[in-house]
Structure 1
Amino acid sequence: MTTIPPGLLPEGLSDRLPPQAEASARLARRVLDTVATHGYERVMPPLAEFEDTLTQRLKSARAQDLLRVVDPVSQRSLALRPDMTAQVGRIAATRLAAAPRPLRLSYAGPVLKLRANQLRPERERMQVGAELIGTDSVAAAVEIVNVAIEALQSAGVTGITIDFTLPDLIDALAVGPLPLDAAQTEAVRATLDAKDAGALAALGASAAAYQPLIEATGPFHAAIEKLEALSATHGGALDSRIAGLRAIAKPIGWDITLTLDPTERHGFEYQNWFGFSIFAEGFTGEIGRGGSYAILRNDGSEEAAMGFSLYPDPLIDAGFGGEAPRRLFLPIGHDPARAALMRADGWHTIAALADADDGQALRCTHWLNGPNAESY
C-alpha cells in the first residue's frame, strides 16, 4: 500500500495558515456584523445531513453530485453540504416554522463540493450569507441587494458590479407571448445561455423571436431599454418585471456598476423571478450571488424567500481582511496587569516563556518596557 505523505491533502482541499486563517474569520465577521445591523440573526446548521433531506431541498444539485458517507449510528447515507442556503431553508420550514415572517437569518461556514471547476479549483469554500424568508417582493429584493453591497463594502471591497438576471423569464414567455413546446424551451434556454444568435435562428422562427433577449444584455440602462422595446411589441408582457428591475436598481449607489443579462440561468436553477451575480474589479468570476426562490414546507407547499451568498476565499487570497494586528512582546517578569490593559486597548500580546525567546522572531512589532510599548 502506498504511504500518503503526512502533509498531503486531497485535491481541492488546503490549509489556511496565519495570517490568512485570521483574515478569513475577520472577513466573515465583518459581513455577519453588517447584516446583523439590518436584523439578520445567525443560525449554524451542521456540516452534514441525511442525504434524502438535503437533496430534497437542493434543487440545483443531484445526489451523485454530493460527497456522501454512511452514518455508523443510523446506517443511513449522509451528505456533506455543498451549499448552506438549503439548510437555512430547512431550519425556516421546521424549527422556525412558527416564527413571525418575514424571517431574517444569516450564516457562515465551510461547504464542500464533490468536484471543482476551472475557475475555482478549490472544493472546500467559505460561504457567508443572509436569507429573507416569507416574501420575494421587490422591496425584499431591494433590501437583499443593498445589504449584500454594504456587507462587501464593509470588508473593503470596491469596484463592485451587480449583474441582474430573470431566471424564469424563458419559461414565462414560452407559455405566453412567445410560445414554445417543452423541447423547444429547453433548446432556446441553452442557446440563450451560450448567447449564440446563429444557433437560435437555426431553431426556427419561434425560437428566433427570442433574439432581442441576447441584445438586451450589457450595461443596465441600455439593456433595460431594449427589454422595454421587446415588451412593447408583445403587449407589455414584461412591464412588471422591468418595473421591478428599475425599482431594485434605483437606490443602488452611483459607485456600483449595474449590468443586465435577462436570460442567464447557470447557477440560478433553483431561483425564480429575480437573480443577481456579484463581481469585483480584479477578480475572475463571481464572488457572490443571490435572488428569489421558494422554500419547501413540511406540508408540501412552498414559501417565498430572497437571499444572497458570498464566497470570500478569493478576497482572502487577495489580502482582504488581512490587516496585521499590533503584536506586543511581553518579556519575562512583565507586569500582568499592564499586559491586560494593553490587550484591552487592542494589542495582541506574546508572552516570553524563556529568556531566549525573541520578540522580533515571533513577529512582534513592539515590546513591553515597564508600562510602555516600545517599537523594535
Structure 2
Amino acid sequence: MLPPGLLPEGLRDLLPPAAEAEAKLAAALMAVFSAHGHARVSPPLVEYEATLGSRLASPARRELLRFTDPVSQHTLALRSDITGQVGRIACTRMAASPRPLRLSYCGPVLRVRGDQLSPERQSLQTGVEIIGADHEAAALAVLRLAVEALATAGIEALSLDLTLPDLVAHLHAAGLSAGEASLATLQALLDGKDIASLRAAGAAAYEPLIAAAGPAATALPRLHAFAATLPEAAAAVLAARLAPLSALVAALDGTPGLSLSLDPTERHGFEYQSWLGFSLFGAGLPSEIGRGGSYSLVHPDGRTEPAIGFSLYLDSLVDAGFGSVAEKRLFCPPDTAPEAAARLRAQGWTTVTALAPDEDPAAQRCTHVLVGGTPQPLTVTAE
C-alpha cells in the first residue's frame, strides 16, 4: 500500500506561495509575449501519439508517456514539448492565416525521466513561435524577446549560448573529409570534444570547430579563420551560417546583463533545429531556463515552412525565488462588512476574513490586521 500523499518520482505538489509565484511569473511572461504581438494558443495536454510532433521536419524521437484511449482504441501520449503542437496548429487550423504567424503558449509538459540537473518530470513551459520565417531578422526578434521576458521575470545576469545544429551535417555533405568516420560517428566525437579520436579516424579537418567554442568575441574570429582554410563548397556552407550569426552577435553585443557564447557543434537537445539553436542560462541557476532555434514544419501536402522560436521552463525560476511578490495580506475580523473588505481589496490589499474569533492571522500568512477599520502591522494587537 502506498503511503498517503506519495507522488511518482519526479512529480511534486506546488504549495503556497510557490504555486502563486509560478502563476504570476507565467502571467508576466505571457504579457510580454502578447505585447509583442504573439497571439496565444492552447493545445491539449494529450494527443494521438502518431500526430504528436509530426509536423516537425526532423521530429525528435522523444520518450513519451503512452496509454490507450478507451474511446478510440488508439494510442495517446502526454506531450513532452509544446512546440510541435503549435506547429500542428499552424499547419492545419491556421494554415490559411497570414504569415509570419506569431503565436505564444503556456502549459504543463511531462517527460518520462528527469536527469541529475533537472530531476523534475513535469514542468510549466511557455514560449513563442514565429511561423513562416527563420531568417536573421526573425532570429533577432525572438532572441531579443527572450532576453526581455527573462529580464521582466527578474533575471539580471543572463547567458545566451548559441550553436549551429546542422553545420556539421552540411559540411559533411559538402565533402569536407571525415576519413573513416560516418556522419553519426563524427557528430558523436564532436559532441564529446574527442580530438584524439577525430585524428585517429581521419576527421582532423573538423578539429577547428572544437577550438571555436567559447565566448562569442573569440569564437567567431576562429570560425572565420577556419572558413578561410576550407575547400570552396565547405567554405560556402560555413559562410552561409557565419553571416547571420555574426550579425546577431553584433546586434546583441552590449545588451546589459547578457553574455554571449558559441559552440558550433553542440547538438544535445537540438534534434529538430536547423541553422540556429540557442540555450538560456541564468546566473546562479543550476540548469538551462530556456531553449530555442530555427526549424522547419511539414504541411499535410508535403510543403515545408520555416519557423523559429523558444521555450522557457519556469520550475527552476520559481525554485530560485523568481515570481514571488511580497503580498499585503490583511486579516479582517469575522464581523468585517463585505463592502469594507471590497474597498480594501481595491486599495491593493489581499483580505483574509476570519471564520472564527480565535483564528490566527499569522497562520494565514497575514502581514497586517484590521484594527478599528485601519490596517495595522501584525505585531500590533487589537485591544
Same fold (TM over 0.5): yes
Structure 2 unpaired stretches of 5+: 379-383
Contact 1:212-1:230 at 8 Å conserved across structures: yes
Q: C-alpha displacement at 1:243, in angstroms?
A: 1.6
Distance in structure 1 (CA, Å) of the matches to 2:363 and 2:116: 39
SS in 1 for 2:94: coil
Distance in structure 2 (CA, Å) of the matches to 1:55 and 1:140: 22
SS in 2 for 1:233: coil
Pick one of 146, 154, 157 that aligns with 1:156. 154
Distance in structure 1 (CA, Å) of the matches to 2:149 and 2:130: 15
AA aligned to 2:214 is G
Q: How does 1:1-376 map to 2 (within 5 A)?
A: 3-57=1-55, 59-62=58-61, 65-176=63-174, 178-180=176-178, 184-204=182-202, 207-234=203-230, 235=232, 236-237=235-236, 238-252=238-252, 253-376=255-378
**Structure 1 pair 145–182 and aligned structure 2 pair: CA distance change class (3 A):** farther
Q: C-alpha displacement at 1:285, in angstroms?
A: 2.4
Distance in structure 2 (CA, Å) of the matches to 1:315 and 1:174: 39
Moved more, 120-129 or 237-246: 237-246
Q: C-alpha displacement at 1:181, in angstroms?
A: 8.3
Structure 1 unpaired stretches of 5+: none
Distance in structure 2 (CA, Å) of the matches to 1:60 and 1:194: 23
1:221-267 Cα distance to aligned partner (Å, 9 max, x none)? 10000000011122442223212112112232142100000010010
SS in 1 for 2:7: coil
Distance in structure 1 (CA, Å) of the matches to 2:346 and 2:42: 29
AA aligned to 2:144 is N
Contact 1:335-1:370 at 8 Å conserved across structures: no
Distance in structure 2 (CA, Å) of the matches to 1:202 and 1:194: 15
Moved more, 77-86 or 292-301: 292-301
SS in 1 for 2:185: helix
AA aligned to 2:199 is A
Count of aligned pairs between the two proteins: 371
Structure 1 residue aligned with 2:381: none
Moved more, 296-305 or 140-149: 296-305
AA aligned to 2:212 is A
Distance in structure 2 (CA, Å) of the matches to 1:193 and 1:285: 19
Distance in structure 1 (CA, Å) of the matches to 2:333 and 2:258: 49
Distance in structure 1 (CA, Å) of the matches to 2:178 and 2:217: 29
Give the TM-score normalised by the residue count of structure 2. 0.93
Q: C-alpha displacement at 1:120, in angstroms?
A: 1.0
Distance in structure 1 (CA, Å) of the matches to 2:113 and 2:361: 43
Moved more, 280-289 or 180-189: 180-189
Distance in structure 1 (CA, Å) of the matches to 2:162 and 2:60: 22
**Structure 1 pair 323–216 and aligned structure 2 pair: CA distance change class (3 A):** same
Distance in structure 2 (CA, Å) of the matches to 1:289 and 1:181: 33
AA aligned to 1:304 is P
